[in-house]
């Protein structure tokens, strides 16, 4: 009997580690493909010949990217605290940053891997999901507002503001009436659309949990912090253009990367890979920037923002997994008899997040690879 329990414990840990390993292996494959694409582009446009020009800007670019991550974590910590879940700044911060390891997934739902690391700290999966959806909505509004900086025509500005207002109203209505999304999910399931059904259920459950933050204080704080975080990223792109010697108007320089991010999100390509870079190059070409320099600028900002965040996420995941395997931290929500037995079998203190798998088993726990 005891031997059977030991084998089960080994199996659970092995399965968890395997899924995390597969996710990290996926990141490595994407990174290699991205690098291969860069080499191919350089062979045609001699992009790397311009590399010495932005080197002096790298410390500032990375500093601004780190500042953006810290501001976004401050917002996340605020949202969880307002929902009644205060986490450790260090452990909670590592759990939040770990989500960035899976940023290169459709809709960034891979970031819900945070569930694995926040459940032991007493945060329910539903709350993590709700905070994720609320954060994405705030980011959409913040990025849209920054993108409007380049809009000079009044009619276009009105249309953009109308879009933001539409998104806000739609999210508020869906949050107040989640049963309508449930009906849509039932219809999709009946017509054999399992993947889309799961995404609709994720959205339904997330929006239902967002109601706790649908008040003036939380909405204003979340939006302002979102504007600050993405403002840092937009400013880093402007700083990069300046070091490349390109005289792009200030407001346009601030708006180009947010506009490209919106285009990348609309493409539904994981992480906006390729579509975001192409949009940046196209927008810069409208300001007379050469193809080689525009390509370098697009790659430079992506490496120092998105890929830098992904790298930080990978380091956070490795740190948390190492702490789990070495028993550096016990879960706060109670280990239980089975977990103590597993620990005795394996000779370590296990940290299995509330007995759940990495996000994959239910609509509240999407697959790491989606």
For 365, which DSSP code?
Answer: B
Distances (CA, A) of 128 to 24, 124, 142, 169, 364: 21, 7, 21, 22, 9
Per-residue model confidence (pLDDT) at position 20: 56
Q: Report CA 19 to chain centroid distance, whole Å.
A: 19
pTM over 0.85: no
Per-residue model confidence (pLDDT) at position 344: 39
* Average pLDDT of adjacent 10-residue blocks, the chain of 370 residues: 43 48 60 58 52 73 94 96 92 92 67 84 88 88 86 61 73 78 85 82 79 90 95 94 87 89 74 81 88 85 88 88 69 42 36 37 36
Q: What is the dihedral of CA 96, 101, 103, 108, to 10 degrees?
A: -60
Of the candidates 314, 277, 312, 326, the one whose C-alpha atom is nearest the C-alpha of residue 297 is 277
């Amino acid at each position: 009997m005891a031997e059977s329990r030991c084998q089960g414990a080994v199996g659970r840990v092995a399965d968890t580690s395997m899924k995390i390993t597969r996710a990290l292996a996926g990141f490595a494959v994407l990174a290699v493909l991205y690098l291969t694409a860069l080499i191919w582009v350089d062979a045609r446009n001699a992009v790397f010949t311009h590399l010495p020009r932005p080197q002096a800007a790298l410390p500032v670019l990375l500093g601004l990217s780190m500042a953006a991550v810290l501001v976004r974590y401050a917002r996340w910590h605020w949202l969880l605290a307002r929902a009644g879940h205060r986490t450790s700044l260090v452990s909670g911060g590592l759990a939040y940053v770990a989500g960035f390891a899976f940023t290169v997934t459709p809709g960034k739902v891979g970031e819900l891997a945070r569930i694995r690391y926040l459940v032991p700290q007493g945060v329910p999966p539903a709350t993590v999901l709700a905070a994720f959806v609320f954060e994405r909505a705030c980011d959409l509004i913040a990025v849209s507002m920054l993108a409007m900086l380049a809009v000079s025509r009044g009619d276009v500005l009105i249309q953009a503001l109308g879009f933001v207002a539409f998104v806000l109203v739609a999210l508020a209505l869906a949050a107040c009436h989640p049963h309508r999304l449930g009906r849509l999910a039932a219809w999709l399931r009946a017509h054999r659309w399992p993947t889309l059904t799961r995404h609709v259920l994720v959205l339904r459950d997330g929006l239902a949990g967002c109601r706790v933050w649908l008040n003036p204080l939380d909405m204003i704080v979340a939006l302002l912090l979102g504007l600050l975080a993405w403002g840092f990223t937009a400013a880093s792109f402007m700083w990069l253009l300046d070091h490349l010697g390109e005289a792009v108007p200030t407001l346009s320089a601030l708006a180009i990367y947010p506009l490209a991010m919106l285009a990348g999100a609309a493409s539904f390509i994981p992480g906006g890979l390729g579509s975001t870079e192409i949009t940046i190059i196209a927008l810069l070409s409208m300001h007379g920037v050469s193809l080689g320099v525009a390509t370098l600028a697009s790659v430079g900002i992506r490496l120092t923002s998105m890929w830098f965040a992904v790298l930080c996420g990978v380091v956070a995941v490795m740190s948390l997994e190492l702490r789990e395997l070495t028993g550096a931290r016990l879960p706060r929500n109670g280990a239980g008899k089975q977990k103590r037995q597993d620990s005795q079998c394996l000779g370590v203190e296990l940290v299995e997040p509330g007995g759940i798998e990495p996000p994959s088993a239910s609509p509240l726990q999407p697959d790491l690879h989606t």
